[in-house]
C-alpha cells in the first residue's frame, strides 16, 4: 500500500509539472526568442548517476530521507551552511589541520518538472553510464597518473584552467559550491557565465549547419539553434585535457570526437529543464541521456579567485624538487643488488 501511495503521489507531481509546462508561455527577448536570461543554479543532492541505495528514478520518501542522512553524515558540519560566528575564538594550535570547506548548495534531491529525481541519468533506466573498458581505462589513468614534478601534467582544475566537478560542461554538472550561472542572450549568441572559475560558454546561433571548428577549446565548439521554444546545442571537439572524468557520483570520459547534445526549455517562471545526451561508440556501449533543472538564484555572481591564497601547486612542485634532491644525494646501490 505504501508503494502504491508513493507511486500515485509521484504521478500527481509529474502530471502537475506537465500541466504547468503545457500551459506556460516563456517570455520573449527583443529578438522574439524564448528568454532564458537571468541567474540560475542547479545545486542539489541529486547526482549524475543513481546511488546504490535508491532503486528507481523517483525515490520513495524513505529512500530520500536515508540518502540525505547518509550525505549529512559524510560531510558533517560542512553542510550546515550556518553563518560564521565573528566572535568565535581562534582555533587551538595543532600539528595537523583537517581539510575544510564550506558547502553552499540545496541539501535536497532535485525536482524536474515537479518530480523528485534520484539521478540526472534517465537513459539507461538503471541510472548508470554504460562505460566501455576504454572509457574506464581513460578515467582511471586521469586520476592515477598524475606526476608531481611538472605543472603541465597536473590536473587542469588544480591549475585553475577548468572548474572542479565540470560545472562549465558540457554537460554542465552541479557542484557543492559556487553553483551559479548567468545566461545572457542576443539574437545571434547565447553566453553562459559559470561562477566557478568564471568560464564563459559562448554558443553561436548563426551557422549551425556548417561543420564544427577544428580547434579544441576547453569547453569544445558549441553550435546552437532554436526548435520552437527549446534551445538546442551541439558540442564536439572538447579538449581532452579539459574534459572532466568525474562529477558528483559519476565517471565519464570525452574525446574530441565525442558529441554532447543539450536542450534548454523554460517550462515555468522558476524552471529551465536542461536535457543532455553524450554519444561516443568507443567510450559508451550506447548513448546516455540525462535531465536536470535550473532554478532562479539570487545574485550577483561574485568573484571566484581560484589562485588567491592557493599554495597547493607551489607546494606540490616544491615537494617534487625536494624528492629529486634526496634521490640525487642518496648513495648508489651496489651492483647486483
pLDDT band at 8 (very low <50, low <70, confident <90, very high): very low
Asked whether the beta carbons of 184 and 191 are under 8 A apart, the reply is yes
What's residue 17's pLDDT?
Answer: 43
pLDDT digits (tens, 9 = 90+) for 66-113: 999 998 888 776 666 666 788 989 888 888 766 656 778 888 999 999
DSSP state of 119: B
Query: What is the distance between the alpha carbons of residues 238 and 169, in angstroms, rounded to a whole number?
Result: 9
DSSP state of 187: S
What's residue 245's pLDDT?
Answer: 57
Mean pLDDT of the 54-58 span: 97
- Write down the mean pLDDT value for the chain: 84
pLDDT band at 1 (very low <50, low <70, confident <90, very high): very low
Query: What is the distance between the alpha carbons of residues 292 and 113, in angstroms, rounded to a whole number?
Result: 9
What is the SS3 assignment for 277-318? EEECCCCECCCEEEEEEEEECCCCCCCCCCCCCCCHHHHHHH
pLDDT digits (tens, 9 = 90+) for 172-195: 999 888 999 999 999 999 999 999
What's residue 60's pLDDT?
Answer: 97
Q: What percent of the chain has pLDDT over 90?
A: 49
Domain boundaries, the chain: 2-79+101-296
From the list 163, 156, 161, 150, the residue with the least C-alpha distance to 316 is 150
User: 168 vs 58, 112, 119, 321, 324, CA distance in Å?
Assistant: 26, 20, 19, 33, 37
Query: What is the distance between the alpha carbons of residues 253 and 283, in angstroms, rounded to a whole number?
Result: 7
Amino acid at each position: 500500500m505504501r508503494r502504491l501511495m508513493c507511486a500515485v503521489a509521484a504521478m500527481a507531481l509529474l502530471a502537475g509539472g506537465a500541466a504547468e509546462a503545457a500551459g506556460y508561455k516563456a517570455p520573449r527577448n527583443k529578438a522574439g526568442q524564448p528568454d532564458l536570461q537571468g541567474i540560475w543554479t542547479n545545486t542539489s543532492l541529486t547526482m549524475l548517476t543513481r546511488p546504490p541505495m535508491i532503486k528507481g528514478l523517483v525515490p520513495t520518501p524513505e529512500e530520500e530521507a536515508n540518502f540525505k542522512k547518509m550525505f549529512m553524515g559524510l560531510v558533517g558540519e560542512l553542510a550546515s551552511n550556518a553563518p560564521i560566528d565573528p566572535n568565535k575564538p581562534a582555533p587551538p594550535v595543532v600539528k595537523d589541520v583537517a581539510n575544510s570547506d564550506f558547502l553552499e548548495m540545496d541539501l535536497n534531491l532535485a525536482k524536474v518538472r515537479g518530480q523528485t529525481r534520484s539521478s540526472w541519468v534517465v537513459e539507461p533506466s538503471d541510472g548508470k553510464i554504460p562505460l566501455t573498458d576504454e572509457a574506464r581505462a581513460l578515467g582511471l589513468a586521469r586520476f592515477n597518473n598524475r606526476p608531481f614534478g611538472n605543472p603541465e601534467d597536473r590536473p587542469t582544475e588544480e591549475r585553475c584552467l577548468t572548474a572542479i566537478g565540470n560545472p562549465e560542461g558540457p554537460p554542465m554538472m552541479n557542484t557543492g559550491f559556487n553553483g551559479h550561472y548567468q545566461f545572457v542572450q542576443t539574437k545571434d549568441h547565447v553566453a553562459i557565465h559559470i561562477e566557478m572559475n568564471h568560464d564563459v560558454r559562448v554558443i553561436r546561433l548563426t551557422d549551425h549547419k556548417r561543420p564544427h571548428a577544428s580547434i579544441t577549446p576547453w569547453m569544445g565548439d558549441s553550435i546552437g539553434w532554436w526548435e520552437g521554444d527549446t534551445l538546442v546545442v551541439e558540442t564536439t571537439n572538447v579538449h581532452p585535457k579539459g574534459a572532466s572524468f568525474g562529477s558528483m557520483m559519476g565517471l565519464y570520459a570525452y574525446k574530441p570526437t565525442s558529441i554532447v547534445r543539450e536542450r534548454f526549455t523554460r517550462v515555468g517562471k522558476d524552471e529551465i529543464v536542461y536535457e543532455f545526451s553524450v554519444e561516443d561508440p568507443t567510450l559508451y556501449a550506447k548513448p546516455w541521456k540525462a535531465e536536470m533543472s535550473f532554478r532562479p538564484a539570487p545574485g550577483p555572481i561574485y568573484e571566484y579567485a581560484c589562485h588567491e591564497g592557493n599554495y597547493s601547486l607551489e607546494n606540490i612542485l616544491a615537494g617534487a624538487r625536494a624528492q629529486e634532491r634526496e634521490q640525487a644525494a642518496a648513495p648508489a646501490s651496489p651492483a647486483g643488488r
